[in-house]
């Protein structure tokens, strides 16, 4: 009777995982421990070189993004002022049309005054003309206020336009500077990225997740380091015990710094597994 093999489920990736939590299973996945350590060190070296290239750009990418955000905000304000101006202009036209209608009504009532036969009717029509006149004054006042508001908004647009022109010049200069740096290093960065991707493809997902997490959590972005000055961790510079130094030198065992959690490797160790 044939037996059915059950495929072992791939372990879930825990974004909080560290090299310490991987220590038990480190040699059970993918390539042998010695080769895996070599690949991790090569991965770290590629990342170090990529970091150096990115450091050449300094704060330029962030500065470009900040200016772009600022320009978007300034242009949004201009659009808002223009929208308000359109509203004021529509109000002016509405009030002008109202004045035309009021003038027509006033003229009609004034014509009626010439045919009035009694004082009571005269007073009533005169009062109506007075009320229409007040409405006409209000409409004229609204037109005047709208024109003042339009002037103020246009002044604001002019000021914003000056600011936009200055910041667009700043943006063009920053972008040109950034593009020059990127162009000068693009081929090197591409080659390094291909080297990094080749290394990463050989490492299991859990180890890569821990590697990326540690790199992102420390200032020097070092997750895999060598021995510093013969007896110290190359990441945190704390002392390493003699027994651990022997294990690191062999290159056949996963050794993690007990102080910072980085992997300690001997890049010169022979891969014999």
3 has a pLDDT exceeding 60: no
**Which of 81, 132, 80 is CA-nearest to residue 105?**
132
Pairing assessment for the beta strands 232-233 and 255-256 based on DSSP bridges: unpaired
**pLDDT at residue 130 above 90?**
yes
Q: Is the pTM of this model over 0.85?
A: no
Predicted confidence (pLDDT) per residue in 46-79, tens digit: 999 999 998 988 899 999 999 999 999 999 999 9
pLDDT digits (tens, 9 = 90+) for 103-123: 999 999 988 888 887 888 888
Q: How far apart are the first and last CA of the chain?
A: 37
3-class secondary structure, 28: helix
Mean of the per-residue pLDDT values for the chain? 89
Residue with tokens 């070189």: 49
Q: Does residue 273 have a pLDDT over 80?
A: no
Dihedral (CA of 101, 104, 110, 116) sign: negative
28 vs 231: CA distance, rounded Å: 29
Strand 263-264 to 224-225 pairing? parallel
* CB-count exposure of residue 22 (10 Å: 0-12, 13-18, 19+): buried
Q: Is the pLDDT of residue 8 over 80?
A: no
Residue 58 φ/ψ, nearest 5 degrees? 55, -135
For the chain, where are the alpha helices, taking DSSP H only?
A: 19-22, 33-56, 60-113, 119-201, 205-217, 242-250
User: 164-180 pLDDT, tens per residue?
Assistant: 999 999 999 999 999 99
Q: In whole angstroms, what is the distance from residue 143 CA to residue 90 CA?
A: 10
Give the Cβ contact number of residue 60 at 10 Å.
Answer: 16
pLDDT over 90 percentage in the chain: 70
CB atoms within 10 A of CB 48: 14
In the numeric block, the tokens 């990342």 are attached to 47
Phi-psi label, residue 216: left if phi above 0, alpha if psi -120 to 50, beta otherwise: alpha
Angle at 264 between CA 260 and CA 268, to 5 degrees: 160
Instruction: Give the model's pLDDT for residue 32.
Output: 87
Report residue 54 as tokens: 């990115």
247: CB partners within 8 A, 6+ apart: 253, 255
Q: Give the C-alpha separation, 167 to 174, whole Å.
A: 10
């Amino acid at each position: 009777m044939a037996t059915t093999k059950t495929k072992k489920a791939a372990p879930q990736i825990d974004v909080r995982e560290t090299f310490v939590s991987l220590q038990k299973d480190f040699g059970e996945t993918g390539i042998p421990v010695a080769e895996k350590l070599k690949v991790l060190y090569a991965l770290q070296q590629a990342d170090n070189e990529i970091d150096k290239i990115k450091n050449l750009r300094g704060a330029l990418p962030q500065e470009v993004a900040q200016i772009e955000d600022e320009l978007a905000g300034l242009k949004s304000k201009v659009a808002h002022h223009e929208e308000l101006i359109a509203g004021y202009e529509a109000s002016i036209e509405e009030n002008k049309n109202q004045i035309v209608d009021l003038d027509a009504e006033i003229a009609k009532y004034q014509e009626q005054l010439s045919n009035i036969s009694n004082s009571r009717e005269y007073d009533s029509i005169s009062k109506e003309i007075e009320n229409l006149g007040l409405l006409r004054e209000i409409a004229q006042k609204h037109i005047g206020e709208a024109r003042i508001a339009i002037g103020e908004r246009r002044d604001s647009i002019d000021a914003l336009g000056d600011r936009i022109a200055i910041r667009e010049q700043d943006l063009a200069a920053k972008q040109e500077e950034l593009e020059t740096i990127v162009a000068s290093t693009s081929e090197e960065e591409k080659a390094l990225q291909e080297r990094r991707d080749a290394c990463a493809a050989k490492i299991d997902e859990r180890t890569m997740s821990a590697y990326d997490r540690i790199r992102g959590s420390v200032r020097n972005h070092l997750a895999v380091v060598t021995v510093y000055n013969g007896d110290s961790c190359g990441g945190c510079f704390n002392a390493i015990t003699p027994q651990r130094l022997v294990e690191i030198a062999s290159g056949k065992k996963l050794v993690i710094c007990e102080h910072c959690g980085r992997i300690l490797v001997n890049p010169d160790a022979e891969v014999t597994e």
